[in-house]
Amino acid sequence: MNPRTRFFLFRLVNRLLWPLILLILVLVWVFYRKARPYFAERMGLSAGMSGPSRMSAEPRDGCVLFHLASLGEAHASKGLLIRLSQKHRLLATTTTVTGRESLAVQMPDLSVSLAPLDLPDLWDPFIRSRGIRGIILFETEIWPMMLLTAIVRGIPVALVNGRLSTAGFGRMKRIRGILAPLVSGIDPVCVQSSRDKERFMVLGAKEDRVFVTGNLKWDIPEHDDPDLSTQLDSWLKGTEVSAFGQHAGKPFRLLLSSVHPIETEAVLETLSHQERWAMPIHIVIALRHLERMNEIRPVLARFSHVAYRKRGVTDRKDTETPSIVLSVLDTYGELNSLYPQVDAAFIGGTLDPVGGHNPIYAAKAGLPILIGPHIDHIRDLVDALETGMAPIRLSGADGMCEAIRKMMEDPGYRSLLGKNARSVFLSQNGAMERTLNRLVPFWERAGKGSVPS
């Protein structure tokens, strides 16, 4: 069955099901408040009209769609987006609201919206109304109706920083019959590792179109916002003075980075049950999803001093000087500037069986990195760090105490771990240039194509 026939059949089914789809959408709107922000954008309406640039890409001129998933990908793709937007007209879409809002803040001159639901009757008018000449997908954002619409319209599609986790690969293999004709049309497929190359080929990518270019997450800007870094350091110091006193020595600062509620509670419970530490501990908590803050409030309430970034100190109790104080980052967009202010970082999603989140900013800051057993999503990053003898691997939350105690008692050991992590970070640069080089033929095809009408 050729792509046009597939597209016609899917669109026919889509239109037959519209009464049911509309009913579901109404129910979602009524009963699921979290789905309401940018709801029109989910329907392919008002897309790209919210930023200062508004219509930075007029339909008559054409543009390239850059699609990514969520908050982590918004941070990881920033450098590439900056480079591409210097020469090309771009429209960025995201799957999640947090990704959309982060990208809009990071790049205010870029048109940003949520991607439409993956229905042919939404993607086709979206592509035509925006004059999209090409599509670049980031990591694993493979949406069947988006790709099928692009194929029928003759729009070239590229994929950059591609990766497939074991779980994701297993799910996609089950629908390989649907995906293979779509994936085979992506050119180029720029992937992070040889393992990802093999997996994309199993899904239908053509071998001569798949290139191992490395992980773009390693190619992040060297310098952070100095004003924000100063603000964050002042916030932490203010918390420490309030909790430990004006003349107390500097505590050991541990960042729980992009953590989930279950592992946050496990770490806090483990550390709080230790009777004696060589120095006070300042734990800085950065949840992966701020909307889940209420899930950790019961465990936070057990500590005598909890300070929030926006709300200030809210849980102060009149007790003796604590051995552990907590600071909670209740904002988005500030985590990456927080790494240089701490002494070590635990990478979230590795105790909870999520698969792990990005450890690269910790390596960039030259920090000792603590990582749990669940690393499926970041396996190649962890492999690189372990080759450089950088991370401390934990089998569970119980191992956290021994690791922290050793770093407290042996500053040389702590310094060596940080230097190793920093060395790995510096050695992994280069994915950006390799990716840009592989995209050159894609831009030629996108430039020659006619604007969809």
pLDDT in tens, 66-77: 999 988 888 889
Tell me the HSE value of 124 on the side-chain side, using a 13 A CA sphere. 13
Structure tokens at 321: 């000087």
Q: Which parts of the chain have pLDDT scores under 50?
A: 47-59
Cβ contact 164:199 at 8 Å: yes
pLDDT score, position 51: 42
Cα–Cα distance for residue pair 64/371, rounded to 1 Å: 38
Nearby residues of 428 by Cβ (< 8 Å), 6 or more positions away:
214, 215, 218, 384
Cα–Cα distance for residue pair 201/208, rounded to 1 Å: 10
Q: Nearest 5 degrees, angle CA 9-CA 45-CA 71?
A: 95
| Cβ-based burial of 2 (10 A; exposed 0-12, middle 13-18, buried ≥19) | exposed
> pLDDT tens for residues 340-367?
999 999 999 999 999 999 999 999 999 9
Residue ranges matching CATH 3.40.50.2000 in the chain = 226-427
Residue ranges matching CATH 3.40.50.11720 in the chain = 3-219+431-448
Cα–Cα distance for residue pair 191/214, rounded to 1 Å: 6
How many Cβ atoms from other residues are within 10 Å of residue 280's Cβ? 19
Amino acid letter for position 194: S
pLDDT score, position 318: 57
pLDDT score, position 426: 92
pLDDT score, position 45: 81
pLDDT score, position 105: 86
Cα–Cα distance for residue pair 146/425, rounded to 1 Å: 35
CATH architecture of the domain 3-219+431-448 equals 3-Layer(aba) Sandwich (3.40)
Measured CA to CA in angstroms, residue 377 lies from 39, 46, 272, 353 at distances of 29, 33, 30, 10
Nearby residues of 184 by Cβ (< 8 Å), 6 or more positions away:
204, 205, 206
- The model's pTM is 0.76
| Cβ-based burial of 398 (10 A; exposed 0-12, middle 13-18, buried ≥19) | exposed
Cβ contact 401:274 at 8 Å: yes
**Domain 226-427: which CATH number of 3.40.50.2300, 3.30.420.480, 3.40.50.2000, 3.30.930.10:** 3.40.50.2000
Cβ contact 452:125 at 8 Å: no
Cβ contact 327:310 at 8 Å: no
From the list 266, 347, 254, 345, the residue with the least C-alpha distance to 299 is 266
Q: Is the dihedral of CA 223, 226, 230, 232 positive or negative?
A: negative
Cα–Cα distance for residue pair 61/57, rounded to 1 Å: 7
pLDDT score, position 356: 93
Cβ contact 306:314 at 8 Å: yes
Q: Scanning the structure block, which residue is given the tokens 């698969």? A: 355
Structure tokens at 348: 């979230």
> pLDDT tens for residues 407-420?
999 999 999 999 99
For residue 333, the cross-strand partners are none
